[in-house]
Structure 1
Amino acid sequence: MPCRTRGDISGAICCLLMAVDIRKRRYASTCNRKRIFCCVGFALLLLVICIILVAVFVVVKKRIVQSGQPFASMDTLQFFNVTDGLAVTWYNGDMSKKQMEDVLSSDAMMLEADVTLGGSPSGQDETTVPSVARDNTLQEWMEAILDANLNGRKKGVKLNMKHDKVIGPTLKVLQAMKDSIVIPVWIHADILLGPGTNKTMINPMQLFSQIDQIYPAVTLSVAWASDSSQTSYTQSIMEEMYSLIKNLKQPVSITVRAALVKNAWPNLKWLLSQNSNFTLTVWNPSGVTDKEGTDLYDLLYVRNNWYIEKIFYDLPGTKFKEFQELSVTAGSPLNFFDVKDRDAIDITWAHAANSIADMEMALKSDVMMLEADILLRGQGTASQTDIPIMAHPPAIDSDNTFQNWFTNVVQTKKGLKLDFKSIGAVEPCLQILNSSRGSLRQPVWLNADILVGPNAAGSKPVDAAEFISVIQQNFPQATLSIGWKTAWNNSSTNEGYTQAMVEEMAGICINLTQPITFPVRAIAVRPSWPQLKWLLDQSLSYSLTIWTTAADDLKQADMQWVRDQGYDEDRIYYDLPDSLMPRRNREGEKTYKEGHEL
């Protein structure tokens, strides 16, 4: 193609060469001289345009970096197509080449490796090659994982920086492989001194600077150097951590020891609430057993009080599986039903789903929690049996046994609220639950009136000590729903929940580890609010479930008043008819989005 018809740089170069050649031949034609001048001018114009474009690109790139625009780190939950941090599984162990095939074939999603230089934990080897085992360099390890992903075995990586010297070489390996890395990459480092230790830390400023300069597309996992000391994470070290990470562009996961997490939860919750980009990773030292004796109910306490997509659980051996099961049956309905703004007003209820017809109707509905009453067939008569049936006093018979009711409900995604009207019915029902633990995939609430409450002097509640003892022996993996026997007279002065009543309940609950909800009669809640608030304030694992009867002269305004007190929305359930439900999102209430952007 003649150079004059080509509109690219190669055409310009062609013209320049032609001009030189023409000059050498002293081609004096006037027409040719004009052609030469045109070609040279066109080439110079293209050169100027290229210089301008390069300059503009450099300036724009610099402005993007200076603006704090986040880098494109791979979202871990999105990559694995899950919405719950508990669904992500972890492996931290032998990363030798011999072990790699077993690791890549396992169900672990995130593979953790301690990165050293030449396999030396001290980082003092002369070699500058980062390794994850003495026979496995970081590059070889990454290549094996990336190949596994290409073959459908999804894995992410978490690289633990054990020494300042490994940071740069590690990031350079990642940078060299950047076009192939399409998986989550976490960079972990202990950057501050934590409870009970004086270990050497990674320099945080050096870490953050090198990540930004060399390979910024990571999730940063930061922690306090700590040991198994029972000293907790204090508010002051939370504030120190926040001062270091508040301006980072990358997603940040704050890593804490599982054995210490409950006692530190108010401080950790404060830190997490500062930025929607922060998550929590709860971990135990690797190994088959939990050497630090983490209480799973402590972890449940934390899980039930925060967003499930914001907490990861790196737990060893069977502890992880046990916690997964516990988090369902004793977990918050807000988590199970994926209530996005964690507002308990959204949980819906079906009552007295006792007969087969009522049960089937409730199962076909869109309600979330099914409440049913249980007693022994022939309860209190000479013909009493040991068969638990679904009935509410004064009825003592039913066309539906608990076994049949449970068999039908357990196949659905409805939550179970079992209201025991007889202490004798508790153990046989819990034995059925325990024998079916492997198939239980929904929240289980165990309810009984265990104390004498407002206007109910002379009533006979279920024996509190026996009820709790039977639960602990047979099926403790549930939420306890324990309340008071109550009565109400719409035409005379009534008693509310007194301070003595709530203190008696608090004394019963003080040593219990399960989540506890207190069912309270709606018409008595407003006049008793100071006492009920006091009870709720004793533990974040406590909640209220507000219920009513058709006979009570309850006003919607009373429920709106309770809502307007602004107490934790995730800790007050409203088991009420639609006409009595409080309105949501009134002035002063936070939406889900606003709550995440604190």
Structure 2
Amino acid sequence: MAKLNHRLVSLGVVCALVILGLLIAVIVLATRKREGAKEDKQLTPHVSALSILQQYNVDDGLNITWYTNSTSIAREGVAGMLNVELTKEAGKFYSNGGQLELSNILDNLKPTDTGIKIKLETKFQNSTMALELVRELRRQKVKNPVIITLPVFSQTFKWQQFLSSEEVDNDIMISFDLTVKCCDTGIGRGTVEYVDILCNQADVKCFIEVDIRNLLKSWQDIKWLLNRNHNVLLIISDTSVINNESLYDSLTVRNDIDKNKVLYNFGETLKREFLHVASTAGSPLLYFDINPRDAGKIIWSHNTDTWEQINKATSGEAMMIEGDIMLLGQDTSNQTELPIMAHTVGDYNNMTFEQWLDEIIKVDKGMKFDFKSLDAVKPALRIVQRKRDKIKGPIWLNADILTGPNATHTRIPADDFLDAITQFPEATLSLGWTTVSKRTNYNLKYTMAMVQEMQNICKTLQQPITFPVRAEQLVDSWDEFNWLLKQSRRYTLTVWTSHTDNVTKSDMNYIKQQAEASRVYFDLPEQLRPTF
């Protein structure tokens, strides 16, 4: 009996070992199968939209170059994406028109770092074809970044089928196409909320691609999505006829969000024109890389009209340098066409405007031209235009074009100033009111009629606009200026003061607390700058 029990125990041990061995074998085989499947599936390591910028060592989507021809792409050293529209013939993907097979296009990309953005021809825009494209890209073992543009609204595209497929992994980026007819009248909150849901389901880096002509009228909802979902970036595409309005619409968007949140799918000509506008009319927050976007961090040099002041400003921490401009001999019988640095008639600081400009160009800081006479505008801007290619930083054109609280009439009428600056329109306009100090008039403030009059002038302009506001009157006028800021994302305020005014730091902290951080600049002495 003892021997029988011993044999049974031995048999049980052997059986257990066999079963354990079989279980281990099954696990090993399953693991190898999964790894093999993963190897076959892998397209490239996860490449996020932000990592595209990092890959090229750039932090600005404007530095990405877009191509339409795979034979013209830069071989190395240039951040680039190739636009391709594909059709399918005889079981193979070709560029639309049948000129190049997809495999040939990808071969052209291999020696480069250039990525590819693929859009299927309209009749092939369905989820089944999109999955076939994904499988083909995996078969080709593409190492370059890949974006696939897909329709948001289409009866033939089944998003659940596409997103639930194991083929769709985080190594492919998706661009939601909002450039088509569905969005000709604008992109509403419902659309971007739907894209938000799809992107979260995809769990990949996503883009929304928007036609440049629909950009500004949809910007509020687009920005909501970009701020809400950090996996989403914006691609602005030039699929329509381009004009100045489109350029400045794109500039408004650029000035209103982080520069790594937007890519510009522009052709060579449009990109060149946009770079021209965006350099001098761009936001100081972008130029000086202020992140997070806080206009209170811009440091100013005010009334910089003498050699001593300009030397201090150019060598110090000032970012934006403001100077006052009149003509030599202003309002006298000896008036000339030579712009000089002068705050009031009769001032002479032995510095011409051209000398002042040259000193700032040397250090690539921003500049604000405070015109004290209409006569000086065109002569000064002709000088600026002549030196245009040397200027890197923001330019602001300032004038008091309306009569402010209890103040004297302006010597620079609005229509005349706006006509004169056509000499150099690629700038931020700084449009203000004549003002006087409160002194004992404690009720002195900007009225709603004043800001509405300004809005009526500015609503048809295209450039970015800042409104210079006297600090001691801003707190009591905040409701009026808050209304004005809400009229356009192109608008900002610039708070300034005179040394005789009664301004406190607590007042400025209050304004800082009330306002969106990116929309109020403080051109103030250090002891008055808000710290909230």
Equivalent residue number for residue 205 of structure 1: 160
The AA in structure 1 aligned to 2:163 is: F
Equivalent residue number for residue 141 of structure 1: 105
1:550-561 alignment, distance < 5 Å: 550-561=499-510
The AA in structure 2 aligned to 1:351 is: H
Structure 1 window deviating more from structure 2 (383-392 vs 127-136): it is 127-136
Equivalent residue number for residue 572 of structure 1: 520
Structure 2 Cα separation of the partners of residues 454 and 444 of structure 1: 27
Give the aligned CA root-mean-square deviation in angstroms.
Answer: 3.0
Matched, 1:160 2:89: no
Residue among 371, 374, 381 paired with 2:332: 381
Equivalent residue number for residue 11 of structure 2: none
Residue among 39, 47, 58 paired with 1:82: 58
Deviation at 1:103, TM superposition (A): 3.8
Deviation at 1:92, TM superposition (A): 2.4
Matched, 1:185 2:140: no
The one-character-per-residue Cα deviations of 1:209-243 (angstroms, maximum 9, x if unpaired) are 34x42554022111136249851122222223223
The one-character-per-residue Cα deviations of 1:387-409 (angstroms, maximum 9, x if unpaired) are 00112225432221111221221
Structure 2 Cα separation of the partners of residues 213 and 187 of structure 1: 13
Equivalent residue number for residue 592 of structure 1: none
Deviation at 1:45, TM superposition (A): 9.2
Equivalent residue number for residue 279 of structure 2: 328
Structure 2 Cα separation of the partners of residues 478 and 536 of structure 1: 19
* CA distance 1:217–1:394, shift in 2 (3 Å): same
Equivalent residue number for residue 416 of structure 2: 466
The AA in structure 2 aligned to 1:111 is: L
Alpha carbons 2:94, 2:100 under 8 Å: kept: yes
Deviation at 1:143, TM superposition (A): 2.0
The AA in structure 1 aligned to 2:253 is: V
Equivalent residue number for residue 590 of structure 1: none
SS in 2 for 1:306: coil
The AA in structure 2 aligned to 1:464 is: A
Structure 1 Cα separation of the partners of residues 310 and 244 of structure 2: 42
In structure 1, runs of 5+ residues without a counterpart are: 1-40, 63-69, 119-126, 194-199, 585-598
SS in 1 for 2:331: coil
Equivalent residue number for residue 529 of structure 2: 581
Deviation at 1:293, TM superposition (A): 8.1
Question: What is the identity percentage for the equivalent residue pairs of Structure 1 and Structure 2?
Answer: 34
Equivalent residue number for residue 401 of structure 1: 352
Alpha carbons 1:375, 1:396 under 8 Å: kept: no
Alpha carbons 1:86, 1:312 under 8 Å: kept: yes
Structure 1 Cα separation of the partners of residues 244 and 476 of structure 2: 43
In structure 2, runs of 5+ residues without a counterpart are: 1-15, 38-44
Equivalent residue number for residue 510 of structure 1: 459
Alpha carbons 1:461, 1:484 under 8 Å: kept: no
Alpha carbons 1:79, 1:183 under 8 Å: kept: no
Equivalent residue number for residue 246 of structure 1: 200
Matched, 1:132 2:86: no
Structure 2 Cα separation of the partners of residues 560 and 291 of structure 1: 42
SS in 1 for 2:202: coil
The AA in structure 2 aligned to 1:525 is: L
Structure 1 Cα separation of the partners of residues 138 and 479 of structure 2: 59
Q: Greater CA radius of gyration, 1 or 2?
A: 1
Equivalent residue number for residue 175 of structure 2: 221
SS in 2 for 1:385: coil
Equivalent residue number for residue 42 of structure 2: none
Alpha carbons 2:400, 2:410 under 8 Å: kept: no
Matched, 1:172 2:127: no
Equivalent residue number for residue 480 of structure 1: 429
Structure 2 Cα separation of the partners of residues 508 and 293 of structure 1: 18
Equivalent residue number for residue 236 of structure 1: 190
Alpha carbons 1:158, 1:188 under 8 Å: kept: yes
Deviation at 1:428, TM superposition (A): 0.8
Alpha carbons 2:135, 2:167 under 8 Å: kept: no
Equivalent residue number for residue 522 of structure 1: 471
Alpha carbons 2:342, 2:348 under 8 Å: kept: yes
* CA distance 1:440–1:204, shift in 2 (3 Å): farther
Structure 2 Cα separation of the partners of residues 401 and 228 of structure 1: 56
Alpha carbons 1:138, 1:173 under 8 Å: kept: no
Deviation at 1:469, TM superposition (A): 0.8
Matched, 1:307 2:283: no
Alpha carbons 2:46, 2:170 under 8 Å: kept: yes
Residue among 471, 484, 487 paired with 1:535: 484
Alpha carbons 1:192, 1:241 under 8 Å: kept: no
SS in 1 for 2:362: coil
Equivalent residue number for residue 115 of structure 1: 86
